[in-house]
Structures are given as structure tokens and as C-alpha cells.
Structure 1
Amino acid sequence: MINLDRETINHRKNPSSRGRSPQSQPEAAAKNATSTIPIVFTSSGDLVEVGLVASLARPGGNATGFSNISSDLAPKQLDLLSQLVPHAGTIGLLVNPNNQLTERTTRGVEEAARVKSVKLEILKASDEDEIDAAFVSLAQLQVGALIVGSDAALDRRREQIVALASRYAVPAIYGNRAWAAAGGLISYGIDQRPVFREAGKYAGRILKGEKPADMPIQQPTKFLLVMNLNTAKAFGITVLPSLLAQADEVIE
């Protein structure tokens, strides 16, 4: 089976994808690199939408694995954020405009915001300067809380974003535990540990002779809610017992 490190993938990218950072770009690079060597994805993109597999039930070709569409979590994140900061009249959504899932994420949050009668402000950023500018805009728009979209480019700026959220006193929810561990207020997202375990099992089945083309694309079933009470205290937020009861982990 194929195992491409990031440097190898970068050298093999399709030129038409340069300058973008979609969630499934490394997977696309691996798929483009070979049509014969089996590939097991642990992707956070929509593998069907971007044409990497024919369907979830029968992927076809030489690739299978897991499609972790983290953009679908945004409405749940809005609900959790509303429980944590119930008086926030305006919610911000920070997304990377170069991510192929941004439009899908935005649609989901917009619909959820309409249902809750919450005003939504969309902010787009993909690098250090744009992120700084986005937080200046948040302050000007008097945004009361923030959803940070799941994205590899934003993940790489985790420390900057968490620090800015603290500086501007904007309570924010993030897409995975690493953010809460880094000082973020709350995170809700896919638990990658079972995904990686199951991916290993898929690899084993392929090594025993099964064809990736016939192995269904799996969806995540385990999600993690992590609260950082130290950060909540710094923000002056009292976390309701009902919300704490939902948490899989509490950082103190």
C-alpha cells in the first residue's frame, strides 16, 4: 500500500490545485500518484464530491477508507456555543476560503443561525496576516462568540488563533481536542482514534487480498466534546452543569 509523506505529496500535486488547501488535497495527490497501489484514506473531506471515489458503498478504483466530513459538525458547534454564551447576539464563523468544504460549512451554520435567530458574520482567513485582520473585524462587528472552521491551514495557526481569541475576549469553539488542550475554550469534533484503528484494520484486510474497490467508505461514529475550565474562568464564563455533563473531557 502507498505511504506518501508530505514532501512527496507536495512534489506530486496537480498544478491546478496549487495555492488551495482543501481538506482532501493530500488524498488527491496520493490518488493521482498511482492507480494500482491500494490507498486507505483517513480524510476529512467529501471523497465522492471531489471525485476520489465513485460512491461510499462501492468506491471503485484503488482507494477506500474514511470520509470525515467535519463541516457537518458546525451546526452542532453553534448549538454548544449558544449554550455556553447564550447572550451572544452575533456569532462569527472563521473559515479558510481556499478549503473546498467552506461553502458547505457556511451553508450549514447559516441555516442553524436562522433557526436560532442569531446573526452570523462570516470571516475568511488562511494565513497569519488575514487571521489578525479577521479578529480586528470581529471586534468592530461586536461578535459575541466564534466558531473556528475545521481546516488544516487554520490548524497550523492554532496558537495564534487561541491567543487572539483570548486577547479580544471572544469565546470560541474549535474542531478537535488539540485546540482545547492549547487553551481554547471548547472543542467538538470527530474522535480520530477509532478512525485510525479502523483504517489499520482496512489495511490488514487489503493485505490479505480484499480489493479497495469493494470496501465501503466508512463514516465516523465517535465525537468528542472537550471543555477547558481554566479558559472559561479566564473569560468569566460559568459553565452550566448540563453542558459539563455532555463533555467527554474537562481540562482544569
Structure 2
Amino acid sequence: MRRREFIGLVLWSAATFPQMEARAQQAVTVIGVLGSSTATDYGPMIAAFRKGLSEKGYFEGKNVGFEYAWADDHYDRLPALATKLIERRVSLILAAATPSALAAKSATSTIPIVFAIGGDPVRTGLVTSLNSPGGNVTGAAHINVDTAPKRLELLHELLPNRTSLGLLTNPANPLTASVESGVRAAAEVLGIRLTTFHASTDEEIEATFKSAAGSVAGMVIGTDPLFTSRAMALGAKSLEYKLPAIYQYRDFVAAGGTMSYGGDIKNSYYHAGMYAGRILNGEKPANLAVQLSTRLELLINLKATKALGLEPTPVLVGGADEVIE
């Protein structure tokens, strides 16, 4: 080899190898996170997802990275956010809540999608069946949407002599019609006059509590990412406005809400994380049955009921999984 050619090869190597090394260091799997709410509000859920993911060998900063796309409770932004994740060529999409999952599915039929939701994925069209999802979508569900009628029954049990109760829903959520239909049917059976309130913003939530406090005896809060991200604030408002209410998560009760009844959302994200790891390791979403959580917990805040002048029956208290005294 001539000296000039040798020098040229050395210079090319010196310039190229660092670039190749840098690209190798950057060659990590990227998971896109499509969320209906905000990063802060869903921090605990994403942490549970990472835990499940790590158990399949994927660790953030080591061999996996995240690209986040949060709608900040503006569900109409989700389709565009889903498209941006696809343009970034992410390897997999975590869909946080049903609105996000529907947007992701509409945006791609090739990139694997793993959801963590509170609604029925078959009824909403996300999967063909629980056992055989088909396509590129699977995940974990805790079916809290379908427990809304039961929450009405529990609230009625706490307020047996009250015939006027309320239901709070977010009209922007595609699951709202299903929630309202189920609760309305339960109200008719129980002989309850049901008033439906709608809220899609913090201001509308505040206005709802002010209005409901003077018109209904208690409130069922429907399943929605906006309400989930504000569970503690809703619990505090229930106490502030002296309006007995029931939601689906512990945070609501811990903050002063009367009762909660539902599945464990963090558990769904944990299982979604494990599914994401399995898919990244080569398995197909179509072959992974939806993980359906059937465990439901009833929590009662006796401090709150006492402050509201209520006395739950021994049967209601005895049926609780946890009582806050």
C-alpha cells in the first residue's frame, strides 16, 4: 500500500469510527408513550410500566428509551400526537387510557401497541377478542368503566333514603356513552332520579361541584383520564362541598372522598410493561391475550362519612376491603 493511501485510510478511520461508535451507543429501542393526560399525573403509572418492562430485560438509559406525547387532557390532540410518534419510528407504543389507544390504533396497523385501560377493549373495537386480540394491539385492562353501575349501587347503599343522585362524565371520552347508559339503567332499577353532569376542564369540574351540591344528594364520578389525574383534588372537593361521592381509586378516598370501588390501575401498567418487553423480544401482539384484572376493591373513608353526617351500615363497612378511620 502506498504511503499516501495509508495516510488516507488512517484519516478516514479516525473520522468514521467515532461516528459509528456514537451511532452504536444511540442504537437503543425507543418506546413511544401516548398519553391522554400529563406526565406528572401519570408518573406512578409509567413507573409501574417501567417495572414490568425491566423484568423482561429492558432498562431505561441502558437498552431502551422513551418518546413521550401527552395530550394534556385535550383528547382532540391525540391523533396528531400518534402520527408524530410514528414519524419518529418508535418500536412500540404504550397507549395510556382508552382515548389514546383508539388514536394509536387508527394511526398505525404495523407498529405494536400495548394499552393500559379501564374500559372493555372488545366493546371499543381495540381487539377482536380478549384471548385472540389479532392485529398489532394488545395490553391490560381493569374494566372500571363497567363497574360504574355498581358504584351507583354502593352510593345508594350509603344514602338509602335519597332518591336524587348525580353522575359526572367527560363528554370528550369515547367511553362516556357506555358509562352513562349503564348507570342510567341501574338508576331506573333502584328508583333513583339521575342527573348527569359534564366536565372536560378544571373550571367545569369546579362548576359541577357547586351545582351538584345544591341539587343532588351524592355523586358517582365516571371513568376518565382527566378525573383519574385529579383523583385527589376530586376527593378534596367532595369533602369541601359536603357532597358524598364515589370514584374508582384509592387516591380519591385518601384525599377525603367518601368511597372508591374499582381495579388497580398500576397493576395494569405493570402487566403492560411486561407485554411490551415480550413483544420487543420477538412475540406478536396478536398472540398475547389481553390481561384482564378481575380484582376489585371497595374502600370507605369513615372520617369523611362522619364529617358529612353519614353512618354507613355494618353490612357496607363489613364488605369493604379497607376502611380509613
Q: TM-score, normalised by structure 2?
A: 0.67
Whether 1:234 and 2:307 are equivalent positions in the alignment is yes
* Pairing 1:16-35 to 2, within 5 Å after superposition: 23-31=97-105, 35=109
What is the CA–CA distance in structure 2 between the aligned matches of 1:82 and 1:101, rounded to whole Å?
Answer: 23
Could you give the per-residue CA deviations for residues 107-164 of structure 1, whole angstroms, max 9, x where no partner exists? 11111111111111111111122122212321342x1111011211123333443333
Residue number in structure 2 paired with 1:38: 112
Residue number in structure 2 paired with 1:4: 32
Give the secondary structure class of the aligned counterpart of 2:242: coil
Is the CA contact (8 Å cut-off) linking 2:148 and 2:179 kept in structure 1?
yes
Q: Which amino acid aligns with 1:100?
A: P
Q: Structure 1 residues 100 and 211, CA, compared in 2 at 3 Å: closer, same or farther?
A: same
What is the CA–CA distance in structure 2 between the aligned matches of 1:31 and 1:103, rounded to whole Å?
Answer: 20
Q: How far apart are residue 10 of structure 1 and its match?
A: 4.0
Identity of aligned residues (%): 44
Give the secondary structure class of the aligned counterpart of 2:294: coil
What is the CA–CA distance in structure 2 between the aligned matches of 1:89 and 1:188, rounded to whole Å?
Answer: 21
Give the secondary structure class of the aligned counterpart of 1:45: coil
Which of 78-87 and 51-60 deviates more? 51-60
Q: Which amino acid aligns with 1:13?
A: L
Q: How far apart are residue 27 of structure 1 and its match?
A: 2.5
Q: Which amino acid aligns with 1:105?
A: V
Residue number in structure 2 paired with 1:66: 140
Give the secondary structure class of the aligned counterpart of 1:4: strand
* Pairing 1:169-248 to 2, within 5 Å after superposition: 169-207=242-280, 209-248=282-321
Given the alignment, which residue of 81, 92, 101 partners 2:175?
101
Two-structure CA RMSD over aligned residues (Å): 2.7
Residue number in structure 1 paired with 2:20: none
What is the CA–CA distance in structure 2 between the aligned matches of 1:194 and 1:108, rounded to whole Å?
Answer: 25
Whether 1:144 and 2:144 are equivalent positions in the alignment is no
Q: How far apart are residue 205 of structure 1 and its match?
A: 4.1
Q: Which amino acid aligns with 2:174?
A: Q
* Pairing 1:74-113 to 2, within 5 Å after superposition: 74-113=148-187
Q: Structure 1 residues 16 and 51, CA, compared in 2 at 3 Å: closer, same or farther?
A: farther
Residue number in structure 1 paired with 2:89: none
Which of 35-44 and 229-238 deviates more? 35-44
Is the CA contact (8 Å cut-off) linking 1:9 and 1:30 kept in structure 2?
no
Could you give the per-residue CA deviations for residues 164-202 of structure 1, whole angstroms, max 9, x where no partner exists? 322332110111111011111110011235434443443
Whether 1:119 and 2:184 are equivalent positions in the alignment is no
Q: Which amino acid aligns with 1:88?
A: R
Give the secondary structure class of the aligned counterpart of 2:300: strand
Give the secondary structure class of the aligned counterpart of 2:298: strand
Q: How far apart are residue 235 of structure 1 and its match?
A: 0.9
Task: Say how many residue pairs are matched.
Answer: 247
Gaps of 5+ in 1: none
Is the CA contact (8 Å cut-off) linking 2:149 and 2:182 kept in structure 1?
yes
Q: Structure 1 residues 30 and 8, CA, compared in 2 at 3 Å: closer, same or farther?
A: farther
Q: How far apart are residue 88 of structure 1 and its match?
A: 1.5
What is the CA–CA distance in structure 2 between the aligned matches of 1:29 and 1:131, rounded to whole Å?
Answer: 25
Is the CA contact (8 Å cut-off) linking 1:2 and 1:39 kept in structure 2?
no
Is the CA contact (8 Å cut-off) linking 1:91 and 1:121 kept in structure 2?
yes
Give the secondary structure class of the aligned counterpart of 1:231: helix
Q: Structure 1 residues 129 and 199, CA, compared in 2 at 3 Å: closer, same or farther?
A: closer
What is the CA–CA distance in structure 1 between the aligned matches of 2:111 and 2:206, rounded to whole Å?
Answer: 43
Is the CA contact (8 Å cut-off) linking 2:184 and 2:194 kept in structure 1?
yes
